[in-house]
Each structure stands twice: as C-alpha cells, then as structure tokens.
Amino acid sequence: AQTVTQSQPEMSVQEAETVTLSCTYDTSESDYYLFWYKQPPSRQMILVIRQEAYKQQNATENRFSVNFQKAAKSFSLKISDSQLGDAAMYFCAYKWASGSRLTFGEGTQLTVNP
C-alpha cells in the first residue's frame, strides 16, 4: 500500500523568506503523480503544484517549486518570497497513474509571520 509521510506537523517562516516543506512516499509503482494541496482557514483545497513521476524536470509554479527525488521517494515543496496569504495547511498527496485514489499525508501547518 502506498503511504505518504509529512514529518513536519508545523512550520513557520518570516514574510518574504523561503521555506521548504518535506514529503516522502512509499510505492512500488513506477507511474504515478504527486501533488501539493493548500488548505487555508476557509477550508477550500487548492492544488498548488503537480509532478508526473516520468518527468525528470522539477515542476514550478511562480513562487512554488518542488524538489522531486524519485530514487529517494522524496517530494519537497519550496515556497519563495513567502506571503501572508501562504499561511495554510499543506497536504502532500500521491496517486497511482492507473488508480482513482489520492493518498494524503497528515499535513504541515504553515504560519507566515509579518
């Protein structure tokens, strides 16, 4: 069974600085997707970034980028120039390419200090 582990229940960062959230996963599959979702206090789950396992290039979306290490089964999220609006719970998630289910990590609560 696939598992996703986020080892940092809470993180904090100063506004305008950079923070990295960690995620590791376990799977025996070779074709899969990895996601970072953001859930602010409003509780809407928002997709931040997506990575296809077959792509070697790390995904980036504006201030958000990932460090995807397939052999190490690691998928960290880097947030640059942190903003107050980045404060949220961040979930790392895995999906087998041929499956329907998302497997979520336990989440990392990010606080951004002004």
Partner 1 sequence: DTEVTQTPKHLVMGMTNKKSLKCEQHMGHRAMYWYKQKAKKPPELMFVYSYEKLSINESVPSRFSPECPNSSLLNLHLHALQPEDSALYLCASRLMSGTSGVDEQFFGPGTRLTVL
Scanning 19-27, 35-43, 61-69, 72-80 for contacts with partner 1 by CB under 8 A, the matching segment is 35-43
DSSP 85: G
Q: Can residue 45 be called a binding residue for partner 1 (CB under 8 A)?
A: yes
Residue 47 within binding range of partner 1, rule CB under 8 A: yes
Assess 35 for contact with partner 1 (CB under 8 A). yes
Catalogue the E-assigned strands of 1-114. Answer: 3-5, 10-14, 19-21, 24-26, 32-39, 46-52, 60-61, 64-69, 74-79, 88-96, 103-104, 108-113
Is residue 11 close enough to count as binding partner 1 by CB under 8 A? no
Task: Give 13's strand partners.
Answer: 112
Query: Given the complex with partner 1, which of 7 and 54 has the nearer CB atom?
Result: 54
Q: Which of residues 85-114 bind partner 1 (CB under 8 A)?
A: 89, 91, 95, 97, 100-102, 104-107, 109
- Residue 41's Cβ-count burial label (10 Å; 0-12, 13-18, 19+) is exposed
Footprint of partner 1 (CB under 8 A): 33, 35, 37, 42-47, 50, 52, 54, 89, 91, 95, 97, 100-102, 104-107, 109
